[in-house]
Amino acid sequence: MKRNMNNLEIAELLRAMAASYEIRASANSRFRVIAYENAADAVEHLSSELKDLWDEGMLEDVSGIGPSIAKNLGEIFKTGKSRHFEHILSKIPKSVFELLDLTGVGPKRAYRLAIELNLPDKNPIKKLKRLALNGKIATLPGFGEESERDILKSIKEFEQKKETRMLISRAEEAVLPIINWLKKDRNVIEAVPLGSLRRRASTIGDLDLAVSTKNPEKVIKHFLNFPHKGRVLDQGDKYVSMLVPGNIQVDLRVHEPKSFGSLLQHFTGSKHHNIALREYALKKGLSLSEYGIKELNNKRGKVKPVGSEKEFYRCLGLQWIPPELREGDDEIEAARKKNLPELVELKDVKADLQIHSDFDIETSHDLGVSSMKEIVKKANELKYEYIAFTEHNPSQRGHSQKQIVEILKKKREKINILNSQLPDGTIKKVFNSLEIDILPDGKLPIDETGLSILDFALISIHSSFRLEKNKMTQRVLRALDYPNVKIFAHPTGRLIGKRESIELDWEKIFSFCKEKNIWIEINADPHRLDLPDYLVREAIAKGILLTLGTDAHSSLGMDNMRYGVDVARRGWAKKSDIINARNLKEFETLLKIQEAVR
DNA sequence: GCCGTTTTCGGCCCGACTGTTTTCAGTCG
């Protein structure tokens, strides 16, 4: 333990506590285990660091953290350790917690393996593998040859660590041929992706699919003939789990139409949403499962199958909850009060506010590959009313401010001509913008003369990503204060799976943006999806307006807008929260209002 | 150990599979 534990480390600690209590399993520890696991989940899903909440005395405001856990976490933040936690953990060999990383090995089996095989604290899995290969596990009571094989398989998987989640764009590519294959079978009435893909999460683990059919057996058989099929991991009457190219796991579930609604609900998840929903249902005397709804006080009560998902939620007295909101936050409460937001949709989007053309702006970053004309053509296909060209700023090295202004003037002229010769279509105006680097000290590499040539400027970070939180915040605030700066683009700088978010004091950034009427971008590039969904929700709560931009470097990239809309929806965004869901006239009015404020 | 539209006490999600069992515990999603 240490004083500055981050949320992931704390969650891991709480899970270790849960495991310890489970191993010691006394009569009343069962629910204590659940409590610690709930607390771990809560911490993992938190949008701000727990340490910061503790600083503000708000630990117990986190649902799942009560007086006891709060007290002990507080002790850790203050002194670097919790005597109670250490006391409990000290009774369990450290090796046990490492073994929990193996699938199929939970607390009980991990403990027995560690004790009976006398596994070392260091590299216990390595020793376990050696013993398993020598047949030592099969001889343990309660274990057998099958268990030994399973454990070896888990160790192999652990060693390969294929624990990487896919980008949502990748998951969509992978799922399409499977859905197409399923639909070739006449028995398939409906075939749809569920799980995190249906909830439109930013990254996807496994692919979950559901089929509605009157003939489950035949559909299963058909699926097993999938031309790109890999190893079949698991199989039952109503489900198959198999690998497809790219080592992607596909779980298919098959139900009859009469219970398809409950299946959709169940396997769309999330786990947290389902748990919360079932707890809510219990209070109404109802028990929920993938097969339907059961009345508890009715002794002869059977499961009533539910055919449609809308009906499933209606039976519970709830509004239908869009999958994007099903994360176990407060969506059930909102649905009960008929208070769910009307989420923004792709068809509401009337503009793309970050596009890079091939106009040679002499930047040190990437140029786009499509011409302005090609991009306007694409924008018309997408039925947009306006777009903004946001090439990177000309490189500072090798250009004087005077030269930079000259380049910007050239682009201004080109856009003026473009605006006077717009082809027939929905596009009415093209804006002259620029994506400008925020330098490490918060200055911008474009002077005020240069900035004044633009209709408005986007600013974003492309260097020095690891500044400490206060410095980073000051840096961004300084840049946001330049004249004509309107949009803070891909604000966390994250690249999913590759680069962590920068550290920012969001409270301060949001208040500044609110005060100065600066907008924050939701970057729709599937590698970025930035602002992330949970911060979108916080921003909206603070009254911040958001823009959508694809960051397209070719006209094809403009198709990524839907991923940005996904993020907006997961952040509970309504149409009115999104700047470019407004028509041109409203947009221009907002631009002017903004100038007046600053 | 946590929590509250019935509760500050008395509850705590649901079903499936697996292997090692002679009726079920452990694990997973």
Question: For chain A, what are the domain ranges?
Answer: 7-160, 166-255, 261-336, 390-597
**Distance measured from the CA of protein residue A283 to the C1' of nucleotide B9, in angstroms:** 16
Which residue's CA shows the smallest distance to C1' of B6?
A: A283
CA of A109: nearest nucleotide by C1' is B26
Tokens representing A295 are 């009345």
H helices present in A143-215, as ranges: 145-160, 168-183, 195-198
Tokens representing A274 are 């389902």
For domain A261-336, the CATH architecture is 2-Layer Sandwich (3.30)
**Distance measured from the CA of protein residue A38 to the C1' of nucleotide B2, in angstroms:** 9
pLDDT at A590: 93
Nearest to A530 by CA among A510, A543, A548, A544: A548
Q: What is the overall mean pLDDT for chain A? A: 93
CA of A69: nearest nucleotide by C1' is B1
Question: pLDDT higher for A301 or A122?
Answer: A122
pLDDT digits (tens, 9 = 90+) for A506-543: 999 999 999 999 999 999 999 999 999 999 999 999 99
Secondary structure E strands in A285-334? 286-289, 292-295
pLDDT of residue A162 exceeding 70: no
Q: State the pLDDT confidence band at A597, using cuts at 50, 70 and 90.
A: low
pLDDT at A401: 93
For Cα atoms A572, A6, A70, give the angle at the middle one, nearest 5 degrees: 85
The nucleotides of chain B lying under 7 Å from a protein CB are 1-7, 11-21, 25-29
The lowest-confidence range among A24-38, A510-524, A562-576 is A24-38
Tokens representing A20 are 């310890």
Which residue's CA shows the smallest distance to C1' of B28?
A: A104
pLDDT at A526: 97
Tokens representing A541 are 């709560």
Which residue's CA shows the smallest distance to C1' of B16?
A: A236
**Distance measured from the CA of protein residue A308 to the C1' of nucleotide B6, in angstroms:** 30
| Residue at token pair 């079932």 | A278
**Distance measured from the CA of protein residue A30 to the C1' of nucleotide B12, in angstroms:** 10
Tokens representing A531 are 């602002």
- What are A62-66's contacts with CB under 8 Å, separation 24+? A64/A35, A64/A38, A64/A39, A65/A39, A66/A35
**Distance measured from the CA of protein residue A446 to the C1' of nucleotide B7, in angstroms:** 64
pLDDT at A151: 92
CA of A285: nearest nucleotide by C1' is B6
Residue A586 corresponds to which amino acid? E
**Distance measured from the CA of protein residue A109 to the C1' of nucleotide B21, in angstroms:** 16
Q: What's the CA gap between A113 and A120, in Å, rounded?
A: 11
Q: State the pLDDT confidence band at A109, using cuts at 50, 70 and 90.
A: very high
CA of A286: nearest nucleotide by C1' is B13
Q: State the pLDDT confidence band at A29, using cuts at 50, 70 and 90.
A: confident
pTM of the model: 0.91
CA of A282: nearest nucleotide by C1' is B13
pLDDT at A110: 94
**Distance measured from the CA of protein residue A59 to the C1' of nucleotide B8, in angstroms:** 20
Partners of A304 in the β-ladder? A293
Nearest to A303 by CA among A288, A284, A281: A288
pLDDT at A505: 93
CA of A33: nearest nucleotide by C1' is B1
Q: What's the CA gap between A587 and A545, in Å, rounded?
A: 12
CA A240 to chain centre: 26
CA of A21: nearest nucleotide by C1' is B1
H helices present in A184-323, as ranges: 195-198, 216-223, 260-268, 271-283, 309-315
Tokens representing A283 are 């209070």
Whether residue A375 contacts residue A558, with contact meaning beta carbons closer than 8 Å, is answered with yes
pLDDT at A518: 97
| Residue at token pair 């579930």 | A253
Which residue's CA shows the smallest distance to C1' of B29?
A: A271
Residue A581 corresponds to which amino acid? A
Q: What's the CA gap between A71 and A85, in Å, rounded?
A: 11
Tell me, which fold does domain A390-597 have in CATH?
TIM Barrel (3.20.20)
CB atoms within 10 A of CB A194: 21
**Distance measured from the CA of protein residue A337 to the C1' of nucleotide B20, in angstroms:** 49
pLDDT of residue A302 exceeding 90: no
Which residue's CA shows the smallest distance to C1' of B15?
A: A289
pLDDT at A24: 85
**Distance measured from the CA of protein residue A63 to the C1' of nucleotide B9, in angstroms:** 19
Residues 6+ apart with CB under 8 A from A159: none
Average pLDDT for A364-368? 91
Q: What's the CA gap between A304 and A268, in Å, rounded?
A: 20
Q: Given this structure, which CATH class describes domain A166-255?
A: alpha beta
Burial A407-439 (b: 16+ CB within 10 A, else e): bbeebeebbeebeeeeeeeebebbbbbbbbbbb
| Residue at token pair 């994360």 | A327
The lowest-confidence range among A31-40, A154-163, A243-252, A553-562 is A154-163
**Distance measured from the CA of protein residue A546 to the C1' of nucleotide B14, in angstroms:** 40
pLDDT at A236: 84
**Distance measured from the CA of protein residue A213 to the C1' of nucleotide B24, in angstroms:** 34
Beta pairing, strands A188-193 & A203-204 = unpaired
Q: What's the CA gap between A311 and A279, in Å, rounded?
A: 18
pLDDT digits (tens, 9 = 90+) for A407-446: 999 999 999 999 999 999 999 999 999 999 999 999 999 9
3-state SS string for A73-86: HHHHHHHCCCHHHH
Whether residue A507 contacts residue A178, with contact meaning beta carbons closer than 8 Å, is answered with no
CA of A101: nearest nucleotide by C1' is B27
pLDDT at A164: 75
CA of A17: nearest nucleotide by C1' is B1
Asked whether the CA dihedral A248, A254, A259, A260 is positive or negative, the reply is: positive
- Kind and range of the H or E element at A476? helix A469-480
For domain A7-160, the CATH architecture is Orthogonal Bundle (1.10)
pLDDT at A598: 62
Share of chain A above pLDDT 90, in %: 84
**Distance measured from the CA of protein residue A237 to the C1' of nucleotide B12, in angstroms:** 32
The lowest-confidence range among A156-165, A188-197, A468-477 is A156-165
Q: What's the CA gap between A439 and A476, in Å, rounded?
A: 9
**Distance measured from the CA of protein residue A294 to the C1' of nucleotide B11, in angstroms:** 20
Question: pLDDT higher for A342 or A157?
Answer: A342
Which residue's CA shows the smallest distance to C1' of B17?
A: A236
Query: Helices H, strands E: what count in chain A?
Result: 24, 17
Share of chain A above pLDDT 70, in %: 98
pLDDT at A596: 64
Which residue's CA shows the smallest distance to C1' of B20?
A: A142
CA of A23: nearest nucleotide by C1' is B26
Q: What's the CA gap between A389 and A416, in Å, rounded?
A: 12
